[in-house]
Amino acid sequence: MRNVFGMLLLSVLFACGEKQRTAVDESQFASYWYQNKAEINVYALDQVRYGEIRKGEAVMIFVTEDFSTKKQVKLDNPQRSPSDARKVLKLNKTREFQTGVYPYNTMLSVFTPVYEELNSPKVVASVTEWCGQSFTQMNWRNSNYNVQQFSYFESEGDQDLKINAQSEDELWNLIRLNPDLIEEGISRLIPGLVYQRFSHVKLQVENASISKTSVNASVEEVQVEYQDLSRKLSIRYQKSFPHEILSWEESEVSSAGDTLVTKAIRKKKQMLDYWNLNSKSDEELAKSLSL
């Protein structure tokens, strides 16, 4: 979260010979994302579950971190090992909603390189509710995602997989870096991990059509439509940097043929060093975010 040695890190990255993201404007990016703060976004959520719409709340937290290329975890002391450090944009995305008497909680974490044109080295998702919990982690190594899946369902069990494709969950971070990084047309994608847990479809590569449209003078939308899944994802964001995500929709077709739509619309946003704001006196900040 702290840009302790930004210039040294950049010099190391360019010395490594990896292809760089020319679409990222360093001075513009640094002025916003290297303030030693995270961007907190709170959304009003209408979540489809068991064929009904559930009212809830979603939070998307974007922050930059120094990430270990070897261990694929956040570096505690990046200044001690600059050659192992990679600057990433991290997304932590949570959803909370009620299903009858019991609650659902999901969390998605995506770590995407800021300066190198590489797949996100790590994507993690968890789903917890009263029946049990499930957890999926994907680590990009040797041109594949090494996937570990854990579930309380017997049919899904504990699995180890290898998948070679881009993660749908990476698209959120690419929008924030620069929407031009998202290529339009037919792409091979790994569907969103939370969607996969909810739908219980097999985790595998799917063909999807990606398109971008202009909503109005200041807003654009990315649309992802899968060819063999009853799933469509639409993400609306600001055209101008830092490309804030304003809303999204996920639609699917039920077994009865009905189209069910999950929606989230942003209601609050703040830049905060939240990791320093953990005392009782800081609880008022949660209220200001409508949490």
Please report whether residue 154 resides in a domain: yes
Candidates 9, 151, 35; CA nearest to 87 is 9
Please report whether residue 290 resides in a domain: no
pTM for this structure?
Answer: 0.92
Instruction: Say what the pLDDT of residue 17 is.
Output: 54
The fraction of the chain above a pLDDT of 90, given in percent, is 85
- For 72-85, what is each residue's pLDDT tens digit? 999 999 999 899 99
The full DSSP string for 221-245 is: EEEEEESSSSEEEEEEEESSTT--E
Instruction: Say what the pLDDT of residue 156 is.
Output: 85
Please report whether residue 291 resides in a domain: no
Owning domain of residue 122? 6-285
Please report whether residue 88 resides in a domain: yes
Number of structural domains (the chain) is: 1
Please report whether residue 51 resides in a domain: yes
Instruction: Say what the pLDDT of residue 114 is.
Output: 97
Mean pLDDT of the chain: 92
Please report whether residue 121 resides in a domain: yes
d(CA 62, CA 188): 25
- Mean pLDDT across the stretch 202-206? 96
Confidence of residue 2 (pLDDT cuts 50, 70, 90): very low
Please report whether residue 90 resides in a domain: yes
- For 99-128, what is each residue's pLDDT tens digit? 999 999 999 999 999 999 999 999 999 999
- Mean pLDDT across the stretch 245-271? 93
